[in-house]
Amino acid sequence: MVALPNSWADIESDITYQTTSDLLVSFSQEQIKLDLKAIEKGQVPPRANTGLVASQEEGYDLKSKVLGKGGDRRFHAKFIVSSRV
């Protein structure tokens, strides 16, 4: 098992990752591709769209929303504020 990366871009398909709460997760190549498309699309209206929408989970700003025949998927995220001067 491998620790879950901090960046979605570092996640590879069909590898079992261990979360900080000891949950084991694995992602398919198709899932990774769809979620990256949603992230790249940016913010969209919340109804009937694939992209980034506001998160209702406490402590999170956005969630990626991927609509699909096998069910909808969502991953929650936070805005990162750059401290560059």
54-73: pLDDT as tens digits = 888 888 888 888 877 666 66
Q: Tens digits of per-residue pLDDT, 18-52?
A: 888 888 888 888 878 888 888 888 899 988 888 88
Residue 17 included in any domain: yes
Residue 85 included in any domain: no
d(CA 75, CA 36) in angstroms, rounded, equals 11
What's the total number of domains in the chain?
A: 1
**Is beta strand 2-3 parallel, antiparallel or unpaired with respect to 17-18?**
parallel
Residue 60 included in any domain: yes
pTM, entire model = 0.60
Domain holding 18, by residue range, is 2-77
Nearest to 66 by CA among 7, 8, 3, 12: 8
d(CA 81, CA 2) in angstroms, rounded, equals 28
- Cα 43–Cα 30–Cα 51 angle in degrees, nearest 5: 5
